[in-house]
Amino acid sequence: MSFRNTGPLHPLILDDVKGAQKMLAGVARMTPMEGSRYLSHLVGAPVHLKCENLQRTGSFKLRGAYVRISGLRPEERAAGVVAASAGNHAQGVALASSLLGVRSTVFMPVGAPLPKVAATREYGAEVRLQGQVVDETLAAAQEYAHDTGAVFIHPFDHPDIIAGQGTVGLEILEQCPEVRTIVVGVGGGGLAAGIAVAVKALRPDVRIVGVQAEGAAAYPPSLAAGRPVALEEPATMADGIKVGCPGDVPYAIVEELVDEVRTVSEDALSSALLLCLERAKLVVEPAGASPVAALLSDPKAFQGPVVAVLSGGNVDPLLMQRILRHGMVAAGRYLSLRLPLPDRPGALATLLGVLSEADANVLDVGHVRTDPRLGLTEVEVELHLETKGPEHCEEVEGALRGAGYRIIR
């Protein structure tokens, strides 16, 4: 089944998304929706988390991939499919192809996280590592499609993909019929476009807010220009929404139906991921946490009830470790400082005693003895401390100054 395309400016209607929902029955899960008391208190209205991080393959991508591949003609299925992705789309295409009995080849960047590469292979795809960046990987996949006749499965720029992603919107209306605002991360725009098509057709009063990372925000300049505009070098930890240029098909829908596109900082993304882990007990990747980052950044800007779409949970453990530390810094839970000490026995023990009295947990201690700024009888100590928040950081620094220590910035 392939959905109708009435032209490049508005290719989808509600019936297309409903058709995708029927097709996905028994394939994609209706993911749970969890309330967040912390965010509800912050926003001043009920906030619910739509947990697509708990979808099969760990993200919403299976929905669109399955619908797209289902719509291929028999001769196209026989030729196989090819995709390019650093993670979520790769896994969605791999599983969808396996379920439909279609051969799949997925190109991934050479530096793609090993868990994502392994998962894509386990879902049944032939994985080829090629290119240092996604653009090079994409070019390799398209060349493969040209040479072999395999059908290229775009991650967001196709009506069938968008219709599949739009089923998230239908579920939101079923699970939270009183919703007033839906907040969703935006990369190429497929998920936001699909949700907008479904929701605006049934509830035009619902406000839909897209969220992009500041360093990879192609939609604000594109919407200002009235056409997709490419970024030169998108940069963000949120690789799931690190897209340099909107797709033509989703752009037209976002321009017409999405009410606002906001941007969030890397600090906000880190804090949001940490909040999801600590408060909601949910493992969410940075792109999936972007709606929560928007709520944290400007909580009074959203009319409730609010549904924040956690689009994915596929995060490399090593990246998670770095992000959590970054999030702890952003939340005032991690303090780094340097100070000079007398270079004599017992000086460090005395310092650690002050920190113990201040209830700061010492994570790491480093010594520098060769800095020209130091006196002959001094050593510089670099400390990394775990704290309880911004106020505790101030208390720790105050305790150190009160004990006669000079903090170096």
Which are the catalytic amino acids? 61, 311
Q: H or E stretch including 220?
A: helix 219-225
**Where do the DSSP E strands lie in 19-117?**
33-35, 47-51, 81-84, 104-108
Q: Are 342 and 367 in contact (CB under 8 A)?
A: no
Question: Can you list the pairs that 18-27 forms with residues at least 24 positions away whose Cβ atoms lie under 8 Å?
Answer: 18/170, 19/163, 20/63, 20/67, 20/160, 20/163, 20/164, 20/166, 20/167, 21/167, 21/170, 23/66, 23/67, 23/70, 23/164, 24/63, 24/66, 24/67, 24/164, 24/167, 27/56, 27/62, 27/66, 27/99
3-state secondary structure of 270: helix
- How far apart are alpha carbons 321 and 44 in whole angstroms? 31
Tokens standing for 239?
């690789």
Tokens standing for 102?
């279609």
- How far is residue 6 from each of residues 3, 9, 12, 81, 87, measured CA to CA in Å? 10, 8, 8, 25, 31
The residue type found at 8 is P
Q: Residue 408 gets which letter from DSSP? A: B
Question: CB neighbours of 407 closer than 8 A, spacing ≥ 6?
Answer: 337, 338, 339, 397, 400, 401
